[in-house]
Structure 1
Amino acid sequence: MTYAITQTCCNDATCVAVCPVNCIHPTPDEPDFGRTEMLYIDPKSCIDCGACADACPVDAIFPADSLAVGQEPYAALNAAYYEQRGPRSAPEDGPTFHAWGAPSFARSLPSDFGPIRVAVVGTGPAGMYAAEDLLLHTTAEVTLVDRLPVAGGLVRYGVAPDHPATKRIGDAFARFHTHPRVRMYLGVDVGTDVTAEELAAHHDAVVYAVGAATDRRLGIPGEDRTASVSATAFVAWYNAHPEVAPDAIDLSGAERVVVVGTGNVALDVARILVSDPGTLAATDIADHALAALRASAVREVVLLARRGPEDVSCTAPELLALGRLPGVRVVVDDHDPRVWAAVEAAAAHEKAALLGGAVRERVDWSERPGTERRIVFRFHSAPEEILDGAVRVTGEGESAEIPAGLVLRAVGYRGLPVAGLPFDEATGTVPHENGRVEGRPGTYVVGWIKRGPSGGIGANRTCAAETVGTLLADAVDGVLPVPAGGARAFDRLARGRARTVVDARGLAAIERAERARGEESGRPRVKLGTLPDLVAAARGRRRLLR
């Protein structure tokens, strides 16, 4: 028996670190690492020890012979990775050695080096991987700062509610919230409550992990119509983000929704729109979103792609899972002969081949959606204009108007300028060299604000390792600025400026409150969806448990 890695793989290589026979690839020291959509277990080398499954932070690894219904193709997907690349064998004169070799902590500070204080701005995956690296490999004191009164970033507000296994990475990060060398300041906005200069003046170094908070624009007429919404806002809405109002999305009159894009976020929103609300009721989806979906008129979601199926932006695991959504039919609009030719070219285009099980249909857009729920891929169709109740699309010598009650723009995230730091408008990132911000000694970036909105949760681990390595090298070289204030001075400053500061104890109280609300309705948790409710829960006010 062998193990197989499945859909929820976060790519952070925790499994690689514990595998005794080097059967999980690509490893962090291999060129493909960070470029593949997931990691893969070699069925010929696996010794069935289960160490990888025990270590996986998102429960993505299972015995291949007992995969759940719908997960069976992942055994073949793991094996195919090695078949395409040829055999991997141990040296003839010895055993297979671990890909990472002997334990090494190259990013550690010298034993006689005094502790440094590092502020990490942002508590999503990028920030927490950086904090983890500092806490495990050095004696650094870490100050966690977030503008929201609750931690988690995109783990809490970006992962779809029907992907609970992916959210479990948050449990791995949560163990550092109460670390003895961590101080937590949630609800403190750097740039408003405290300036970047003030934060730097109280720490040896500052690491910004603020992500990419907005969406890319389409640049077409009608983009700002009421019925045109960014997928960023839609995802935040169904995840109970406190800065998105419960009535921000109106699904009551939308029988058809057009989603521009075919990335993982586009698939997420399409899947949520047509999923059985009864199934979603067992997740941590926002109460207002669940109520809206129960009353929703949506029966069809159209995914628009400028290019063909061989160029879809989503990962193969997510596309594979889409075809196994209960009660939902996946359709490929057969309006262009190039589309099905690409689908049938399985050897050349793996992801396009995954659409081979979809229904091939020339869709008549003049007809209203039927009673069945379905997702329609329309390739070689670029949005030209968003009209009142429709989207005009153009293709190779062809145009069409697709009636739609709602248009969701899912063409990527984009970073915003960070107060006090340089910013590259073209890339939406902070200029840096290996994580070190240009012209700002002691200031660093990690995650999407560093490299742009690319890569999943696990990609932030290697990104953080690079940034932390640069920071520690600067510390050893003596080039970090000497802070003028200490930890107590910053505590007084933050609490004096921010109206509400939530610490680790308050965060734990929010966790208890949400889980208690979930127990009342048979759900894992019911999120508190407003800033006042979150702060009140942090202070132990029971009036919210209603």
Structure 2
Amino acid sequence: MTKMAILHGKRLMWRSFSSLSSNPLRVCIVGSGPAGFYTAEKMLKGHQGAEVDIIDRLPTPFGLVRSGVAPDHQETKIVVNQFSRVALNERCSFFGNVSLGSSVALSELREMYHVVVLAYGAESDRVLGVLGEDLSGIYSAREFVWWYNGHPDYSNLAPDLKSTDTAIILGQGNVALDVARILLRPTLELKTTDIANHALTSLAESSIRKVYLVGRRGPVQAACTAKELREVLGIKDLYIHIQEADLLKSPADEEELKNNRIKRRVHELLSKAAATQPSHPRLGQRELHFIFFRRPDSFLRSDNSNGNVTGVRFEKTILQENGDPGKWSAVGTGQFEDLECGLVLKSIGYKSVPVDGLPYDHHKGVVPNHRGRILSDTSTGRIEQGLYVVGWLKRGPTGIIATNLYCAEETVASIFEDLEKGVLTPTTTPKPGREGLVKLLDSRNLRFVPFSGWEKIDLKEKTIGSLRNKTREKITSWEELLKVANK
């Protein structure tokens, strides 16, 4: 029997199981990004007696689809239409402006709901831990992405793009390529997107003409996809520089490429770009430099600087097998070189934030779990009854939007297995669910934003956007978002 047939069979069993319930299965999902909405969709389809509430600390839904996907990737954002249909289901409710921890405690949600699924993603960043990391002019890529996407927490970030002509991006994954593309792409091509107006203005006045994309390992290990790489390499009138010596392949590289079609395509694109570029850029031409086998040792500042970064000292690296067959780590060689810049963007990975009462693996940055069931004790495999996890909080900050679909299917399958086994007992233990949450928020004088409030924001953004020939003009302040939502 195929996996799809097994899943289909389970869905039929779940629907039959749900019809026996006289009390609804109360489900709360914390986080309204792709992982949260895919989980809600699977719950509603698989259990006809389920009532699903989605809470989010922002007044706007859709998580990284709204604040993470690049503005020039509008086709990727079409998935919000599917998520909106989920939110409009009569058994689903959205509670925006509700923060886990400050608005409502995890323990309170567990009292009110049979099932609590944590899907709030990764809202922090990994740190390098190197000297000078706190200098001004150094940002995480997440902060920069949220700034140009109009996230209300970062609309006032105001990175200085005028005082330098050079930016260094640490990392070579898709987010790093997104950031490089936004910095180097002609603003005329961004004008019609949903990029935040403050970012468009700043980019139009930007002095940055040269961007370095720096990775610890080689082109074979670059973490980007061919689609993202092809897009940045295709920017009009952009000079691309890649050292051809970096593209030489070791026997281990050959083996890695042989077993990975995506990496093979990425290497082919880099090789073609290196071979077809002239030896020097034209005067005034924008430049993108791919730098491999370098890791940051420290950030530099000049003696007369006001605390702003002026460059990065890199240590050259080589690859060594780290003990796992086929796994290679970048090891320092003791050789150093400096690159000057006035802006650094660290694209070295997102990190989830722990919550009181929640088991958390600080090293991996995830909640310990088995197929979405949260483990209170990893040594014994003891699970937290009724508490589940999905998305980046479950598996780490990896994958594309669609990855969350399979991740949600696995977690929802675990929930339904627990229902079948009697671990969750909605028939014998009624819970207040939605009514309880509304009552609690009301008692704390906390005004939540329902989905109808988001629809008001959505309408206003699209209306203003259409007047400016844009997809939408994002509202970027908390005050204005809440004002529009509560009209």
Q: What TM-score, normalized by structure 2, do the two folds share?
A: 0.85
Deviation at 1:264, TM superposition (A): 0.3
Structure 2: distance between partners of 1:256 and 1:307: 22
Equivalent residue of 2:398, what SS? coil
Deviates more, 1:325-334 or 1:307-316: 325-334
Task: Name which of 368, 389, 402 aligns with 1:431.
Answer: 368
- Structure 2 unmatched runs, 5+: 259-263, 302-309, 318-332, 377-383
Structure 2: distance between partners of 1:363 and 1:409: 29
Equivalent residue of 1:229, what SS? strand
1:447 is aligned to 391
Task: Name which of 461, 464, 468 aligns with 2:405.
Answer: 461
Structure 2: distance between partners of 1:235 and 1:299: 19
Q: Is the 8 A contact 1:216 1:412 kept in 2?
A: yes
Task: Name which of 371, 385, 395 aligns with 2:316.
Answer: 395
Deviates more, 1:490-499 or 1:428-437: 490-499
Task: Name which of 339, 342, 358 aligns with 1:421.
Answer: 358
Structure 1: distance between partners of 2:226 and 2:180: 16
Percent identity, aligned pairs only, is: 37
User: For residue 353 of structure 1, what is the amino acid of its counterpart?
Assistant: E
Q: Is the 8 A contact 1:383 1:392 kept in 2?
A: yes
User: For residue 351 of structure 2, what is the amino acid of its counterpart?
Assistant: R
Structure 2: distance between partners of 1:243 and 1:138: 36
After superposition, give the CA deviation of every residue in 1:2-41 in whole Å (9 maximum; x if it has no partner).
xxxxxxxxxxxxxxxxxxxxxxxxxx95xxxxxxxxxxxx
Task: Name which of 95, 98, 108 aligns with 2:14.
Answer: 108
1:288 is aligned to 198
Structure 2: distance between partners of 1:369 and 1:135: 58
Structure 2: distance between partners of 1:498 and 1:446: 30
Structure 1: distance between partners of 2:105 and 2:6: 43
Structure 1: distance between partners of 2:249 and 2:375: 48
Q: Is the 8 A contact 1:333 1:362 kept in 2?
A: no
| Map 1:58-457 → 2, pairs under 5 A | 104=9, 105=11, 108-109=14-15, 110=17, 111-114=19-22, 115-139=24-48, 140-334=50-244, 337-340=245-248, 348=258, 349-359=264-274, 371-388=284-301, 389-396=310-317, 398-439=335-376, 440-457=384-401
Q: Of the two structures, which has the highest relative contact order with CA contacts closer than 8 Å and spacing of 6 or more?
A: 2
Q: Is the 8 A contact 2:114 2:431 kept in 1?
A: no
Equivalent residue of 1:168, what SS? helix
Equivalent residue of 2:287, what SS? strand
User: For residue 154 of structure 1, what is the amino acid of its counterpart?
Assistant: L
Deviation at 1:361, TM superposition (A): 11
1:485 aligns with 2:398: no
User: For residue 390 of structure 1, what is the amino acid of its counterpart?
Assistant: G
After superposition, give the CA deviation of every residue in 1:51-77 in whole Å (9 maximum; x if it has no partner).
xxxxxxxxxxxxxxxxxxxxxxxxxxx
Q: Is the 8 A contact 1:124 1:151 kept in 2?
A: yes
After superposition, give the CA deviation of every residue in 1:154-200 in whole Å (9 maximum; x if it has no partner).
10001010100011111111111111001221100111111111111
Equivalent residue of 1:420, what SS? coil
Equivalent residue of 1:173, what SS? helix
Q: Is the 8 A contact 1:423 1:431 kept in 2?
A: yes
Q: Is the 8 A contact 1:517 1:525 kept in 2?
A: yes
1:533 is aligned to 480
Deviation at 1:259, TM superposition (A): 0.2
Name the count of aligned residue pairs.
439
Deviation at 1:450, TM superposition (A): 0.5
Structure 2: distance between partners of 1:476 and 1:300: 59
Equivalent residue of 1:393, what SS? strand
Q: Is the 8 A contact 1:240 1:529 kept in 2?
A: yes
Q: Is the 8 A contact 1:267 1:318 kept in 2?
A: yes
After superposition, give the CA deviation of every residue in 1:452-511 in whole Å (9 maximum; x if it has no partner).
111111111111111111112212222226355343222111233363310011111011
- Structure 1 unmatched runs, 5+: 1-27, 30-98, 541-546
User: For residue 392 of structure 1, what is the amino acid of its counterpart?
Assistant: R
Equivalent residue of 2:14, what SS? coil
Change (3 A) 1:103 1:464: closer
Deviation at 1:369, TM superposition (A): 10
Equivalent residue of 2:108, what SS? helix
